[in-house]
Amino acid sequence: MLLAGNSNIITEVTEMKRRELDRFGGWTGKRFKATGFFRLEKDERWWLVTPEGNAFLSFGINHLHPDLWKQGYNHQAWEKRLGLDDLNSRKFAPALKAWFLQTCRQYGFNTVGVHTELSIVNNPQSSMPYMQPIHFVDIPHWKPEIPDSNFKDVFSDEFTAHCDGMAKKLAAPARNDPFLLGYAMTDCPLLTEEDCRERPDVIGGARRKCPNWLAVSPTKFACRRSR
């Protein structure tokens, strides 16, 4: 539990630890080769490595969605917190970004997680490692209904072209950004019968019909051969 009186202590500890970190949040106490981009390397265990060649443990925040700050029950509180008269003004996005980054620095977060509005956090440029969504398939467990057409034949030429198109649109513009940590390709996908079972402890956890693609596409044949 975080008590209000402990915020200064947390800030002091975070500042002390920050002296051991590079500008991407990597730990300078464990070094690898610097390549200018995030990557992986195995040294007894797998490590994320920052562009400057330091070990990186990702500790991020998800779900920075602007509309959540504008709800009827909380918009006045956020107007006061951000020092704005109107959350619909052009000042909202930069104020929200500044608050988000300051909060991350204060509590030691080092990553912009998935489900976050990158048009706010990375505008006009990125300043913290982030995940770029690139949803080649849209089959998350939390959606109440998912049409069979969303379950693609991943071995088809059409799917290859679909992925190429999305990569050109979403991956290519970020390919030279050193703050790009990786890509989130889909969220909690429904791939197997196990994924479709009832899960009362999660959002959208009702029992699902097993997707038809398991029965009709070459994917099932490939999965069977791999067992």
- Averaged confidence pLDDT in the chain: 85
- DSSP state string for 67-115: GGGG-TTTHHHHHHHHT-S-TTSTTHHHHHHHHHHHHHHHHT--EE-SS
How many CB atoms lie under 10 A from the CB of residue 54? 23
pLDDT of residue 81: 95
For residues 195, 201, 204, 208, the Cα torsion angle rounded to the nearest 10 degrees is 40
Give the residue extent of every domain in the chain: 1-57
pLDDT of residue 219: 54
Give residue-wise pLDDT tens across range 166-191: 999 999 999 999 999 999 988 888 87
Give residue-wise pLDDT tens across range 14-71: 554 667 899 999 999 999 999 999 999 999 999 999 999 999 999 999 999 999 999 9
Of 105-114, 139-148, 157-166, minimum mean pLDDT range: 139-148
Answer whether residue 88 shows pLDDT above 90. yes
Rounded average pLDDT over 97-103: 95
Host H or E run for residue 224: helix 218-226
Q: Are 20 and 27 in contact (CB under 8 A)?
A: yes
pTM of the model: 0.80
Answer whether residue 5 shows pLDDT above 80. no
More confident of the two residues 53 and 216 = 53
Give the pLDDT band of residue 142 (cuts 50, 70, 90).
confident
Question: Measuring CA to CA, which residue among 112, 96, 105, 93 is closest to residue 177?
Answer: 112
pLDDT of residue 224: 47
